[in-house]
A and B are shown apart, each in its own frame.
Chain A
Amino acid sequence: DAGVTQSPTHLIKTRGQQVTLRCSPKSGHDTVSWYQQALGQGPQFIFQYYEEEERQRGNFPDRFSGHQFPNYSSELNVNALLLGDSALYLCASSYGTGGREQYFGPGTRLTVT
């Protein structure tokens, strides 16, 4: 049984560019949440997707957008990259939106130069 998978593992982009990160949830899970983790900090909630809709959003600008597909996988898009967007982006899956435990993927390390 595969856990949460994310791609790519590492990514280097230039300021102003756009990036798309991908996540496949653990088998049986239908909810995906995205987090940004800066070095030495705790994960910061970006948004949560369920039934292909964004259900809740954290304090992130509209440059951060997402999508969930019918097979529950998800994408995180970031436009007009800033240096401050450099971080580890974590995807977490769970069953339902009622607050059950979340299973995290290994993350995508994004570096913006």
Chain B
Amino acid sequence: GQQVMQIPQYQHVQEGEDFTTYCNSSTTLSNIQWYKQRPGGHPVFLIQLVKSGEVKKQKRLTFQFGEAKKNSSLHITATQTTDVGTYFCAGLGIRKLNTGTASKLTFGTGTRLQVTL
């Protein structure tokens, strides 16, 4: 089945440094979504990328979708302590059924980010 890997597993940075996490899928994706999970919390949706080569920005966060739609990255500029958490990419697979469609998110292994002053 589809596998989604992320590197690194863990990164510890000083506040103000940049951070990047990379996501690779074993299969081509319909789209990719990114989620953030704070310690003790639940995943919170950040963004969805659909088009090959797409780049989207949210303030200090930059998301990219690879040309082959098999990889993605999240870059945070000038990290802050509020960025602490685990970042997951999730590949979307859509199946066509006789009665419509069904979708399934395959989450990556996650990158845990620690930011210290």
Contacts and interface: CB of A to CB of B under 8 A. Distances in A.
B43 A90 contact: yes
Nearest to B106: A45
Interface stretch (B11-19, B63-71, B77-85, B89-97): B89-97
Contact of A97 (B1, B30, B101): B101
A48 B104 contact: yes
A48 B99 CA distance: 14
Interface residues of B, number: 30
A38 B106 CA distance: 15
A41 to B, nearest CB: 7
A104 interface: yes
A43 B102 contact: no
A102 interface: yes
A98 B103 contact: yes
Nearest to A107: B42
B42 A50 contact: no
Contacts of B30: 99
A9 to B, nearest CB: 12
B103 A56 contact: yes
Interface in A22-45: 33, 35, 41-45
B88 A42 contact: yes
A92 to B, nearest CB: 8
A45 B43 contact: no
B22 to A, nearest CB: 15
Contacts of A55: 97, 100-102
Contacts of A103: 45
Given A101-B48, A103-B45, 16 more contacts: A42-B88, A42-B110, A43-B43, A43-B105, A45-B104, A45-B106, A55-B102, A56-B102, A90-B43, A98-B101, A99-B30, A99-B103, A102-B33, A102-B45, A104-B42, A106-B41
Report, nearest first, the 10 A-B pairs whose CB atoms are least far apart. A42-B107, A55-B102, A56-B102, A104-B42, A101-B45, A99-B103, A99-B92, A104-B43, A43-B107, A97-B101
